[in-house]
Amino acid sequence: MVLRRLGESRLGRDGARWLRELNERHAWSHNDYFHSWILANLPDGRAKALDMGCGRGALARILASHFDHVVAADADADMRRIAEITSADVNNVSITGRQLDSWADDSIDLVTMVAVLHHLDIDDALSHIERILTPSGRVLVVGLAPPRSVRDLMWDAVSIVTNPLIGFVHRPWPSPVTAPPPPFPVKDPVLSFDEIGGMVENRLPGAKMRHRIGFRHTIEWTKPDV
């Protein structure tokens, strides 16, 4: 209630505009920021990685030097065309529109999804991930969810404060105005952190799911090698 009143006041509106302009001048990618987390948590098996919802293909290109073969999958033909260009000079990345249900059981060592899970039927996607991962294979998800609980709101507050600070570190000088890259197909997340957490615990028992800065959460799970 207090927050809503503040947001609707002149001070709140001016403050929000100032913060938005500050963030635009020192913009950073909330998705690419997590590439180093992904690289720090790769599985031991390195035959095949699948980056679902690869967008422009930046992560697939990075993974290419760690895996025998990387599949970069996206439902959007424009994104696939850009990903083809991004990975043109690496010979172990293939671009496809294939969906999770099309992969064989126990066939993929790493599945990554950065800002993608909320585009899919989450429960169905998690069940296919569990199925297609090799034993000891790993899934690393960077996700989005609307804030619903007090804990969600507190993490959003932390992100609001850290957003410009990280922007200053990444881009100490304001960005020149350039043409933005072609936009991603985006979708607003609907399910909350706790709702996704329930599905994750059901499909991927023991998975680690954590709130993160940048208005994101992460999910990490290694398929048991029974």
Ligand X SMILES: C[S@@+](CC[C@H](N)C(=O)[O-])C[C@H]1O[C@@H](n2cnc3c(N)ncnc32)[C@H](O)[C@@H]1O
**Contact footprint for ligand X (CB under 6 A):** 31, 52-55, 73-76, 79, 99, 114-116, 119-120, 184-186
What DSSP string describes 4-66?
A: HHHHHSHHHHHHHHHHHHHHHHT---TTGGGHHHHHHT--S--SEEEEET-TTSHHHHHHTTT
| 158 φ/ψ angles, rounded to the nearest 5 degrees | -60, -40
Cα 116 to Cα 120: distance, rounded to the nearest angstrom: 7
Nearer to ligand X, 83 or 204 (CB): 83
**Residue 8 C-beta: closest distance to ligand X, Å:** 30
Nearer to ligand X, 114 or 133 (CB): 114
Nearer to ligand X, 76 or 123 (CB): 76
**Residue 142 C-beta: closest distance to ligand X, Å:** 7
Place of tokens 């950065």: 114
Residue among 16, 50, 53, 46 nearest 31 (CA): 53
Q: Which residue, judged by CB position, is nearest to ligand X in the bound state?
A: 55
Q: What's the distance, CA 73 to chain centroid?
A: 14
Q: What's the distance, CA 85 to chain centroid?
A: 21
**Residue 191 C-beta: closest distance to ligand X, Å:** 15
3-state secondary structure of 113: strand
Nearer to ligand X, 172 or 183 (CB): 183
**Residue 37 C-beta: closest distance to ligand X, Å:** 12
Nearer to ligand X, 77 or 226 (CB): 77
**Residue 12 C-beta: closest distance to ligand X, Å:** 28
